Amino acid sequence: MSFQEAESVNGNVRQLVDRFGREHTSLRVSVTDACNIRCRYCMPETVSGFLPQHRLLRFESIARVVRVLVNAGVKKVRLTGGEPLMRPNLSELVKRLSGISGLRQIAMTTNGMLLADQIAGLVQAGLTHINLSLDTLREPAFHEISRREGLNRVLEGIEAAVSSPLNVRINALLLRDVNLEDCLPLIHYARKLGVVIRFIEFMPLDANRAWNHSQVVSGLEVRRMVEAEFGPLMASTSSDASQPSRDYFFPDGVGGIGFISPVSEPFCSTCNRLRLTADGKFRNCLFGREEWDLKGLIEPADGLVECSEEDIFGLAKACVDKKYAAHGISESGFQPPERAMYQIGG
Ligand code: SAM
Ligand code: SF4
């Protein structure tokens, strides 16, 4: 696509606005599909292999695409995976991103196991926000969910984050038959730290394809349990409508709680997210079945022809233009995407 063609799409000059008027201001970049644990709602128990180094999008390419997309309206980048801290020298990427003017947030989602050792470098490099995933405070349940040991390392990571200048949140996922009982203890823990906790509904993105409605604990169900314990929650008026989380305060003002309910209350109409997989494919939705190959464009195998900024923008725009109105999880005939969560980037 030429620069002129890109300019004329939807009449939006170099903006990532789709057919439904949704402006894409948030980019999720997966930096690896590798992980040090094996959460049952995400990965298979055994993995035949992760992407080799040469198939990962290089840091210089990631920084280049982010620079182009910031010029097209992207304001926030979230690094994810797989486990992003498994990618060697991640702080080098953060440093490159922090040099991009106009980029307001550099965030990361992590399981926290490697965080205590890396946090100083990440903060120094310019990371601003961190989401830590924590589903239980019980080691046996941690093992049952993640098929690995190491809850203590996760808790050390959370403590390191809370003591750092980063904006910290905890993300929890409840599976009805596994860790429903952890809901209230997790909230007490987060409130003790003064950190916002958010509950994410289980989505059909597990590698085992074992997702079942009966295992999903809806945001409403969690909210009822929370209100029975703490009293009525007060909606946060400062919530950004494009954010997937509906945020609330506790009656005593300590901590905060959010509900991300893509299954029971889809938020597709305000979705502002574009995704880039670790192997360099643009995706317009977690549940999308189509991908747009950026790596082939930006790092051509023959290395002879360098693509232009207009080419990069054009590819991102082509991806955004094909985005559907909604993910359709609850529609009959819904098929989950071929790739599981850890391969897409959560
Ligand atoms: N490894 C990092 C972590 O766990 O935080 C980052 C990647 S992980 C895929 C990002 C988030 O996706 C985690 O908070 C995890 O709980 C969530 N997740 C994984 N599989 C999911 C699923 N099937 N449904 C809903 N959330 C899921
Ligand atoms: Fe790894 Fe995160 Fe998936 Fe758990 S949710 S297996 S930590 S990528």
List the domain boundaries for the chain: 3-344
- Ligand 2 in contact with 83 (CB < 6 A)? yes
Nearest ligand atom owner, CA of 85: 1
Determine if ligand 1 sits within 6 Å of the CB of residue 146.
no
For ligand 1, is residue 342 a contact (CB within 6 Å)?
Answer: yes
What is d(CA 147, CA 170) in angstroms, rounded to the nearest whole number?
Answer: 20
Ligand nearest to the CA of 207: 1
What's the CA gap between 212 and 182, in Å, rounded? Answer: 20
Ligand at shortest distance from the CA of 157: 1
Question: Is 85's C-beta closer than 6 angstroms to any atom of ligand 2?
Answer: no
Q: Atom of ligand 2 at shortest distance to CA of 35? A: 1
Tell me which ligand sits closest to the C-alpha of residue 84.
1
Between CA 153 and CA 315 the distance in angstroms is 40
Please state, in angstroms and as integers, the Cα–Cα distance from residue 174 to each residue in 54, 72, 168, following that order: 36, 37, 20
Helix (H) / strand (E) containing 30: strand 26-30
Q: How far is the CA of 98 from the centre of ligand 1 (A)?
A: 25
Nearest to 192 by CA among 254, 258, 253, 138: 254
- Has domain 3-344 been given CATH number 3.40.50.300? no
Nearest to 339 by CA among 81, 119, 52: 81
Tell whether ligand 2 has an atom less than 6 A from the beta carbon of residue 226.
no
d(CA 286, ligand 1 centre) in Å: 12
Q: How far away, in angstroms, is 189 Cα from ligand 1 center?
A: 20
Residue 11 CA to ligand 2 centre (angstroms): 40
Whether residue 146 contacts residue 113, with contact meaning beta carbons closer than 8 Å, is answered with no
From the CB of 110, is ligand 1 less than 6 Å away?
Answer: yes
Q: How far is the CA of 307 from the centre of ligand 2 (A)?
A: 33
Ligand 1 and 277: CB distance under 6 A: no
Distance 37 CA to ligand 2 centre (A): 6
pLDDT tens string for the chain (346 positions)? 444 444 444 455 689 999 999 999 999 999 999 999 999 999 999 999 999 999 999 999 999 999 999 999 999 999 999 999 999 999 999 999 999 999 999 999 999 999 999 999 999 999 999 999 999 999 999 999 999 999 999 999 999 999 999 999 999 999 999 999 999 999 999 999 999 999 999 999 999 999 999 999 999 999 999 999 999 999 998 767 778 899 999 999 999 999 999 999 998 999 999 999 999 999 999 999 999 999 999 998 877 778 999 999 999 999 999 999 998 888 888 889 999 999 999 8
- CA-nearest of 203, 197, 195 to 226 is 197
The tokens for 11 are 């009449």
State the Cα–Cα distance between residues 254 and 252, nearest whole angstrom. Answer: 6
Contact by Cβ (8 Å): 287, 336: yes
CA distance 330 to 316: 28
Q: What is the pTM of this model?
A: 0.95
